[in-house]
Structure 1
Amino acid sequence: MSAFFTQKQGELVPAPHARGPWSSDMLHGRLLGGLAARAIETRYAQPGLHFARLTVDLFRSSPMMPVTVETSMIRSGRRILVADAIISTEQGVIGRAGAVLLRQGEQPGGEQTFVTPAWDSPPPDAPPPVDGRVAWSPPFDLWRVTEWGEPGPGRVWVRETHPLVDEEPLTPFVRAALAADFASPLSNAGVEGLQFINADYTLTLARLPADELIGVETTGHLSADGVATGQVTMHDTTGPFGFCVVTALANPVAIGGRRS
């Protein structure tokens, strides 16, 4: 499978399948989070430091044009490292990200008063079905455990099928960053379709995903006056490994559900 971006003279040039569902000339926001995670990991990953948080601000949509990612160190201490990334095109800054890396150590003894349980959705055992009802076909494997617009918590399994940049293998951290963008459509979906578009997402990780399959499960939604916040739990085939929270704004174009 061809990569979403090709690196040329310091720029990341998008392939046609890098477009998102909102417009045929708009980069998919999840890829920008993936690029930020890749850039920060490439420059600042160290043995014993764990990527515990990634916040991605998506405050401007971008046409299908070359992207640059610049990183900077904010804090490097004995037990914490904080780094930022700025994502730009020739039109200006389109997003930013901040990552927190924490020093791994001995796990405390005793039991927690509450631990997020594993979900009861087994991993898929067949290729994902093709949905001919929607105009945008996702350039990744998607298994819907629940249907769009179905009352109750939304659940999906996702698996990347394309490299992000050139032929580079996807790391577990980048896989998690890409899958985390699914927090918005799952937590903000309504019976009339997806009528919120997210402005950011914050991924928190107790550990990295252990395999290519990542499950995303809605665990919260609140909205009022056109502003929403949503929450999901991130799973792999061994159990939950993190959470993702998004903020979103009401959007008049519904995707999925009854208006698709």
Structure 2
Amino acid sequence: MIKNDGVGMEAVFRVEGNRVLARPYAAGPWDNTMQHGSAPTTFAVWAANQVETPAPMHVARVTMDLMRPVPLGELEYETSILRSGRKIQLVGVSLRAGGHEVARASVLKIRAAAITLPDYVDNSSLALDAPMPETCRDPRDGFGDNNPFVQCMTLKLARGGGFEELGPAAVWFRADRPMIEGHATTPEMLAAIGGDFCNGVASSLDFSKWTFINSDLTLNFSRPPVGDWVLVDGHSVFGPGGAGLSIGRLADRHGYFGRSIQSLVIEPR
């Protein structure tokens, strides 16, 4: 669990039974009545982890499809076990607003087991190659002042220009505000937060002239993340037909543990 639990701060989400209240902190940069994509994805990770597993398991993949813009205010959610066994569990999470499904996630869990890898397995590429967050600066410089969800975080620029310059960048994320009322924010939830920011911190398009909204997000973990910081080391590619990809490597203080990928809809403002 993340140590910085935001004691005394109002959470982004309040859950009562199958009802969810998404407070204004969940709002994103594109429309202040709609949630940032990180918010429902983070909620889905939490919801999936409330489903009991037949054996100790950890999240290996998260896929979020944003069916419609996800509004603030009252929503309903439902979880379902799509597949379950001794080695894996696949959980579906659905969010609904006004009778319509607005987001649908699938969360794959894999059994936790201690194994010893052969000596010939080379994991040197997983070693952290970025400075620790304590030595980095805040990259926002005013960016995100109108983005409530960004204000729930501490960000530290490890490499590149972040929000200030175009191109690849690596940014550390820490959640300061609790995500779910009464629950600690887990490192897996923090990875979901950071992964959805990849198109923002590592874009090659001018935010003032273009929109590049993601319609989905997929996260893959080779191991569970740990600690209260997650690094997103990302870059974006754009095609001539109005589509693009933002791709990020995910790390904690111990090295790289996963990746994120977003499908982008590219439009001039």
The aligned counterpart of 1:249 is: 265
Count, aligned residues? 252
Is 2:197 aligned against 1:197?
A: no
Residue of 4, 7, 13 corresponding to 2:21: 13
Cα deviation per residue 1:23-68 (whole Å; 9 max; x = unaligned)? 1111222110011111110113565312110111112102222122
Counterpart for residue 155 of structure 2? 142
Match of 1:108 among 107, 114, 117: 117
Q: Give the deviation of 1:82 after TM superposition.
A: 1.1
Q: Partner of 1:121 in structure 2?
A: 131
What's the counterpart of residue 74 of structure 1?
A: 82
Question: Which residue, out of 191, 196, 204, partners 1:176?
Answer: 191
Residue 64 (structure 2) aligned to one of 56, 59, 62: 56
CA contact (8 A) 2:48 2:92 kept: yes
Q: Which runs of 4+ in 1 moved over 6 A?
A: none
The separation in 1 between residues aligned to 2:143 and 2:126, in whole angstroms, is: 35
Residue 94 of structure 1 corresponds to 102
Task: Name the Cα RMSD after superposition.
Answer: 2.3
Which amino acid in structure 1 is aligned with residue 206 of structure 2? Answer: E
Do the aligned partners of 1:206 and 1:241 also contact (CA within 8 Å) in 2?
yes
Taking structure 2 as the reference length, the TM-score comes to 0.84
Distance 2:140 2:128 in 1: 28
Distance in 1 (CA, whole Å) between partners of 2:117 and 2:56 is: 17
Q: Which of 211, 220, 223 does residue 239 from structure 2 map onto?
A: 223
What SS class does the counterpart of residue 15 from structure 2 fall into? strand
Pick which of 145-154 and 227-236 moved more. 145-154
Q: What's the CA shift string for 1:118-150, capped at 9, x where partnerless? A: 222222247847633554242211123332363
Question: Which amino acid in structure 2 is aligned with residue 190 of structure 1?
Answer: S
Aligned to 1:236: 252
Equivalent of residue 30 in structure 1, options 29, 32, 38: 38
Unaligned runs of 5+ in 1: 254-260
Unaligned segments of structure 2, at least 5 residues = 1-8
2:142 aligns with 132
Contact 1:35 1:69 in 2 (8 A): no
The question of whether the paired residues in 1 share the 8 Å contact of 2:249 and 2:259 is answered with yes
**What TM-score do the two structures reach when normalised by structure 1?**
0.87
- Confirm or deny: 8 A CA contact 2:128 2:255 kept in the other structure: yes
- Distance (Å, rounded) in 2 between the aligned partners of 1:172 and 1:27: 21
Aligned to 2:171: 156
